[in-house]
Amino acid sequence: MRKNDDRKTPILVIEIIALVIVFAAVTAIGSSASVKEIANKASFPKKYIEYVRNYSLFYGVDENLVFSIIKAESNFDPDAVSRVGAIGLMQIMPSTYEGDIKNALGLDVGYYTALSDPRTNIMCGVYYFSHWLDYFGKTNAAIAAYNAGPGTVMRWLDDDNMTDDDGDLIIKKIPYKETRKYVSKVNHYLSRYNEIYGDEKTDTTVVLDRKEVLRYAIEYGRKYKVDYNFVMAVIETESSFRPYATAPGTIGLMQMKPSTYEVDVAANLGLTEGPEALYDAKFSVMCGTYYLHWLDWRLDGIATIAAAYNGGIGTVRGWLADEDKFPDGRLTVDTIPDDWVKHYVEKILRFYEKSIELDGEDMTNKFEY
């Protein structure tokens, strides 16, 4: 019996070693995949997503295609200026801005000011591209028009030898070498964006069930010691429970600015996700609730915190610096100097009372007015 046990012991050791090797291999593969994903997203980022998603949805352009154009044009450098004078992220010519875009979008600033601003540059570029996408109805033709001009593309489309069965340009037959390379590059980038991120076509009309959102508000309200009724009020005011809600500069259920996320939330919580993660409902509630916690450490009262969430903590602190008007260091609806912020806080307070009625009062972390 002892002899048999002795013989089995080495086998058992070998089996354990084999299991350890397999586990290490699986872990290494998983880590490798994670590293690859990070590297891919670093090479094909979704910078300025709040602007790209907002205007791509508004003008009906695939957001991954917009990211591909930006990468091809400027590689996400907002200060890029080409040798022929094209400016900014989407490399728009001053003449194109002045002649085709400025009046159409009702802009009243000069080309350099407009095109040097990332938000305005993306708005102009997506609008201009969407115009030619609507006009030609073909992706390659629209991409070529963005690079070589619509008149040139019209001539190419008149040549049956240069178009495919769907009437779109055949890339390898585009006569201009620069445009041929450009269209090919954008298509390549588009395939990479689709591969890395998937075909992201979001529906801004999607509305989440209140009970689902409440679960997130309670979970993170408890974690960060924030009144979940307040969290629900902010969500209803900001997005009406729409996870893909967009406004220029803010995104997600709690409509957070990417700069606020990166500086005041991600840095403090050690998060590695980019701002695009704010389109995930639970993640958005976590970040928004933490930010309310961050504000609560610095300000007092629901009205004051809500005003800072909307108008900025610097603005609110500026108001509170007047000790004659605000001797107790907090705002009320009647004392808010800005009408827009005042209206926002009024909505917050209404939805706060609504949440108490529908969702039950948060007796653990109840905030004071």
Residues marked as catalytic? 73
Nearest alpha-carbon partner for 150 in 132, 166, 167? 132
**Cα separations in angstroms, 289 against 234, 243, 255, 309:** 9, 15, 12, 11
DSSP SS3 for 301: coil
Separation of first and last alpha carbons in the chain:
79
Q: How far apart are CA 336 and CA 258, in angstroms?
A: 26
Residue with tokens 């406004």: 247
Q: How far apart are CA 244 and CA 252, in angstroms?
A: 5
**Cα separations in angstroms, 250 against 6, 65, 287:** 68, 21, 13
> Using alpha carbons only, what angle is made at residue 22 by residues 20 and 24, rounded to the nearest 5 degrees?
65
Nearest alpha-carbon partner for 194 in 65, 69, 75? 65
Q: How far apart are CA 15 and CA 25, in angstroms?
A: 15
